[in-house]
């Protein structure tokens, strides 16, 4: 063995900061979820158009997913350049596939 692996356990301050960040993300996710469900209840009662609610829902989902990825999955942290790159490529392919299949399965395009 060349050397014992080096690492540093998180300190008290760091942990406190992280813990409050994660708690905020958790609360924010709950708020976003309630907003999404609320919008749908509102729409069912005729308060908003379906098209608007769909766009709103997708927006909320993207924000909440970003919370998950950047904060909880530590994508924002240092040393995550490669994971970020592949995350973005994954998003690119995802968008291409969903839009492609959605537009080109039942109807002809133009």
Partner 1 sequence: MTTISVPVGGVRKKSLLWDYLTTVDHKKIAHLYFWTGLVYFLIGGLEALLIRTQLAVPLNHVLDGKAYNEVLAMHGTTMIFFVAMPLLFALMNAVVPLQIGARDLAFPFVNALSYWLYFFGALLTHVSFLTGDVPQGGWTGYFPLAHPDYTGYGMSYYAMGLQLSGLGTLLTGINFVATIVNHRAPGMTYMRMPLFTWTTLIASILTMFAFPPLTAGLFLMIYDQLFGGAAFDPAKGGNPIIWQHLFWIFGHPEVYIVALPAFGIFSEVIPVFSRKRLFGYPAMVVATALIAFFGFMVWVHHMFTVGLGPLANGVFGVATTIIAVPTGIKIFNWIFTMWGGKVRMTSAMLWSVGFIITFVMGGVTGVMMALPPADYQYHDTYFIVAHFHYVLIGGTVFSVFAGAYYWWPKMFGKLLNETLGKIHFWLFFIGFHLTFFIQHFLGLWGMQRRIFTYLPGQGFELPNLVSTIGAYTMALGVIVFAINIVYTFVKGKPAPADPWDGRTLEWATPTPVPEYNFARLPLIRGLDPFWLEKQAGNKTVPPAEPYADIHMPNPSILPFMMSLSLFIAGLGFIFKDQYHPSFLYLALFGVAATLLVMFLRSVIDDEGRHVPRELVEQEDAKGVSA
Partner 2 sequence: MSLTAEPGRLGAAAPAARAGAVEKTEAPPIELATQEGRNKLIGMWLFIAAESVLFASFFAVYLALRHSTMGGPTGKELFDLKLVFLATALLLSSSFTSVMAVLNMRRLQAGAMKAWLLATWLLGASFLALEAYEFNHYVHMGHTFTSSAFGTAFYSLVGFHGAHVTFGLLWLFALLVRNLRREVTPYIAPKVYAFSLYWHFVDLVWVFIFSVVYLMGKVA
Q: Whose CA is closest to 91, among 75, 108, 109, 106?
A: 75
Residue 28 binds to partner 2 (criterion: CB under 8 A): no
Binder to partner 2 among 24, 31, 76, 86 (CB under 8 A)? 86
Separation CA 16–CA 11 (nearest Å): 9
Instruction: Specify the residue, 76 or 85, whose C-beta has the smaller distance to partner 2.
Output: 85
Separation CA 91–CA 50 (nearest Å): 25
Binder to partner 1 among 4, 12, 45, 78 (CB under 8 A)? 4
Helix (H) or strand (E) holding 99: helix 81-103
Q: How far is the CB of 86 from partner 1 (least distance, A)?
A: 8
Secondary structure (3-state) at 74: coil
Separation CA 82–CA 100 (nearest Å): 27
User: Would you tell me which residues interact with partner 2 (CB under 8 A)?
Assistant: 2-3, 5-10, 15, 18-19, 22, 26, 29-30, 33, 36-37, 39-41, 43-44, 50, 53-54, 57-58, 60-61, 64-65, 68-69, 72-73, 79-83, 85-87, 89-91, 93-94, 97-98, 100-102, 105-106
């Amino acid at each position: 063995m060349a050397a014992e692996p080096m690492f540093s356990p998180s300190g008290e301050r760091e942990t406190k900061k992280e813990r409050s960040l994660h708690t905020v993300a958790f609360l924010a996710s709950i708020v976003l979820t309630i907003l999404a469900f609320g919008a749908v209840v509102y729409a069912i009662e005729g308060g908003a158009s379906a098209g608007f609610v769909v766009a709103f829902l997708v927006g909320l989902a993207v924000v909440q997913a970003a919370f998950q990825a950047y904060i909880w999955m530590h994508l924002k942290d240092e040393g995550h350049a490669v994971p970020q790159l592949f995350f973005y490529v994954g998003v690119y392919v995802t968008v291409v596939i969903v839009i492609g299949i959605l537009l080109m399965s039942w109807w002809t395009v133009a």
